[in-house]
Amino acid sequence: MAGQSAQIWQAFLWGIPHQQRVGSDCCSLLLQNQKGSNPNEVDRGVTQIMSHPNYTRSTNDNDMCLLKLSSPVTFTNYIRPVCLAAPGSSFHAGTTSWVTGWGTIRSGVSLPSPKTLQEVEVPVVGNRLCNFNYGVGTITDNMICAGLAAGGKDSCQGDSGGPMVTNQGTRWIQSGVVSFGKGCALAKFPGVYTRVSQYQTWINSQISSDQPGFVTFSSSGTDSDLSDLSVPCSVHLSLHVSQSLLRKNITHSMMLPPPCFTVGMVPGFLQT
């Protein structure tokens, strides 16, 4: 990156790669309301979408895309980048995280007009517990879970591709990308997100210069945030994820341009 402009290749982390199209796609930055005025909004076309080559539709593993913008974006007081979680980052159970999006506010209930960007605060759920709740083999090391044991807070349908971020001092670090879940905000079924820290090598392999800023996030906890093969279960599952689990119909994304800047506020708002 040179000066205050980000190069044309921006790192976007986007859910459900098989649904993406090239041509009429548009990326809107600083879009707060889907209806009405957004005085600081900046729009760019999307000229290329690169889906992860190992994306598996039946399991939602490697649910990740990169978008190439039609022209660079200039950073302002309102448009700032987020850091990406580096390999080796740990987001143990209880790590506070925030998710933003314009999805439904509960299953089958659309966000009312003017459809203002929503935010929800949720704690990370360790992969071992999340795997146990969803069925051993469902949650891979490429995923991260977040939500309340009692339910009530979650991302939902229409939020796919949106960011899950965690605060570290003055930095916001993106740990996940909304991917799938069972219903919305159900007890014992937290939202499932693509784990950003697993993809630095692939992201950098697609961006030849001005690569994104990756930062290692550390946390402590009693439940590992990666799957544990010692989970007491000898059952081998043949897994087929229902399309009803997907948090599809994405209407937004979050730009992750280089380099890694510090940011002083949580982006957006999401359902509670």
- Whether 191 and 178 have beta carbons less than 8 Å apart is answered as yes
pLDDT of 254: 38
- Whether 166 and 97 have beta carbons less than 8 Å apart is answered as yes
User: Taking the CA of residue 50 as centre, how many other CA atoms within 13 Å lie in the half-sphere pointing to its CB?
Assistant: 14
Whole-model pTM: value is 0.78
For the chain, 272 residues long, the average pLDDT of each consecutive 10-residue run is 35 44 70 91 92 96 93 90 95 96 92 95 96 96 97 96 94 96 96 98 90 91 60 34 50 38 35 36
pLDDT of 208: 80
Residue 83 burial by Cβ neighbours in a 10 Å radius (0-12, 13-18, 19+):
buried
Task: Give residue 147's Cα distance to chain centre.
Answer: 14
- Whether 114 and 33 have beta carbons less than 8 Å apart is answered as yes
Where would I find the beta strands (DSSP E) of the chain? Answer: 5-6, 9-12, 26-29, 42-51, 65-69, 73-74, 83-85, 96-101, 118-125, 143-146, 163-168, 171-180, 191-195, 214-215, 255-256
Which DSSP state fits 19? Answer: G
Q: In Å, what is the CA distance from 105 to each residue of 157, 163, 186, 193?
A: 9, 17, 13, 18
pLDDT of 245: 58
Domain extents in the chain = 5-256
Instruction: Report the CATH architecture of 5-256.
Output: Beta Barrel (2.40)
